[in-house]
Amino acid sequence: MPDAVADRADAVLREARDLVDRRLAEWAGRLRTLVPGRLGEAIAYALASPGKRVRAALAVAAYRAAGGRGDAIAGVATALETVHTYSLVHDDLPCMDDDDLRRGRATTHRAYDVPTAARVGFVLVPVAGLVLSEAAAELGLGPEALGRMARELFEAGGIEGMVGGQWLDLEAEQRRLDLEELIAVHQGKTGALIRASCTLGGLAAGAGDAAIRALSAYGADVGLAFQIADDVLDATATSEALGKTAGRDEVLCKSTYVRLLGVGGARDEAERLAARAAARLAEGGVDAPTLVALAEYIVRRSS
């Protein structure tokens, strides 16, 4: 990746982390007070988990590409990261991927217990709604815009998105999916919230329909590219580098892009999708070099 492209991606990722981590810390403090006892502590623990904030960065970059200015997009990015956090807490449960490590520390069910972690995930869904509602007010958006954004967020986080994709992923264990089936899994499990991040950034800026379609198409391609890169990293990186347990796909006998295409073929497919994502923006008349840089980062990252 050229230095200028890497620097652009690093800059928006740092900005997104700064904006979102502050707000997540504020919400963790509020929820620790509002929800007493062990559950409140566990919610705060989950929200305080460090992360790359790729979804937040995509929302910020899409907002700016659509003409948005200022830092009010931080609230929308925080709502996205809250939904992402709920999905990670549930994804790590013993009935799902049964993982002990997430983002370099104990998963929520290991730090607390399984029933508490399950409740944490459930509670974070309406919390995301509260975060989004406050964000819309900060952006000066009315009820219609808020409703459209809420539909986008919760469809991505629900049965039509992440929940449905996770269901398909669990059913696919011990089976060998073909490429079309694998794409269907990850368009939901991983791709839906990444696509929504780009769409919500555009909606927050009041973008027109053509720009929203271009941002959404870009997000769909980048979402699949992100999952392919994850599959490659799971097969080639260490747990220390990833901040989560490496090699889980092989242990769980999951169908992955690496199993279907090999490491080299999977990397090539991720690169192809990143290039197509950039072309979607150009075709839609969206000038967004930061989004192009993020697509490059997503397929070439090391963790």
Q: What φ, ψ does residue 276 adopt, rounded to 5°?
A: -65, -35
Cβ neighbour number for residue 301 with a 10 Å cutoff: 18
pLDDT at position 252 is 64
- Residue spans of beta strands (DSSP E) within the chain: 101-102, 105-106
Query: pLDDT tens per residue, the chain (303 residues)?
Result: 677 778 899 999 999 999 999 999 999 999 999 998 999 999 999 998 888 999 999 999 999 999 999 899 999 999 999 999 999 999 899 988 888 888 778 899 998 999 999 999 999 999 999 999 999 999 999 999 999 999 999 999 988 888 888 888 877 777 788 889 889 888 988 999 999 999 999 999 999 999 999 999 999 999 999 999 988 998 886 666 556 565 666 666 677 888 889 999 999 999 999 999 999 999 999 999 999 999 999 998 877
* Burial status of residue 200 (CB atoms within 10 A of its CB: 0-12, 13-18, 19 or more): buried
Structure tokens at 218: 């870009």
Residue 4, Ramachandran bin (φ over 0: left; ψ between -120 and 50: alpha; else beta): alpha
Q: What pLDDT was estimated at residue 241? A: 58
Owner of token pair 């062990």: 38
pTM of the model: 0.92
d(CA 220, CA 190): 10
- What's the CATH code, domain 3-300? 1.10.600.10
CA-nearest of 234, 200, 223 to 273 is 223
Gyration radius of the chain over CA positions: 18
Q: In this predicted structure, what is the pLDDT of residue 244? A: 54
